Amino acid sequence: MPQVVLVNPQIPPNTGNIARTCAATATELHLVGPLGFEISDRYLKRAGLDYWPYVKLHYHESPAAFQIIHQQRGGRLLGFSVRGTENYTKYQFQEDDWLLFGSETNGLPGNVLSICDSTLYIPMNEPGVRSLNLSVSVAISLFECRRQLGYLQ
């Protein structure tokens, strides 16, 4: 099953909303530090409502610590970025994919993008809009991945 990875998330409500999406889809959520908030942050908990017991949450102190876990488990690292090279709707997802998203302010750092097997983007029609909200981007991408893999039947 695909997994969601947030690298250096900064805004607690976004992470809480993503945790709720992961809980609803039984998707593992990996948080890679440093984080812009405490895991116990009340805004984080409020956004996730009472679904935290259903979140398969993993915390990694750094990208290097996360990479050790990824190497043990295997699978492709798919970095989502406004500068990605492949449209996510045309990409063929696989069961063991890791969907990586960067911080709300800076996106994925270069050292993380450099280890990705592919970089994907979500097409937007208005060039004046820099990016979508992080929680929206995760939901769009995760559900397309799940649709392709037959999880939405």
Residue of higher predicted confidence among 22 and 38: 22
| 18: pLDDT strictly greater than 90 | yes
Read off the pLDDT of residues 44-80 as tens digits, 9 standing for 90 and up: 666 556 787 899 999 999 999 999 999 999 999 999 9
Q: What is the pLDDT of residue 75?
A: 98
Read off the pLDDT of residues 115-126 as tens digits, 9 standing for 90 and up: 999 999 999 999
Percent of the chain beyond pLDDT 70? 94
Helices marked H in the chain: 12-25, 42-48, 63-73, 110-113, 134-148
Residue of higher predicted confidence among 44 and 150: 150
Closest C-alpha to 16, from 34, 67, 77, 36: 36
- Least confident segment among 34-43, 53-62, 144-153: 34-43
- Is 142 within 8 Å of 25 (Cβ atoms)? yes
Q: Report the chain's mean pLDDT, rounded to a whole number.
A: 92
Q: What is the pLDDT of residue 7?
A: 98
- Is 124 within 8 Å of 88 (Cβ atoms)? no
Q: Give the tokens for residue 7.
A: 């690298």
Residue 122 known to bind ligand: yes
Confidence of residue 12 (pLDDT cuts 50, 70, 90): confident
CA atoms within 13 A on the CB side of 73: 16
Indicate the pTM of the whole model: 0.94
Domains of the chain by residue range: 3-148
CATH architecture of 3-148: 3-Layer(aba) Sandwich (3.40)
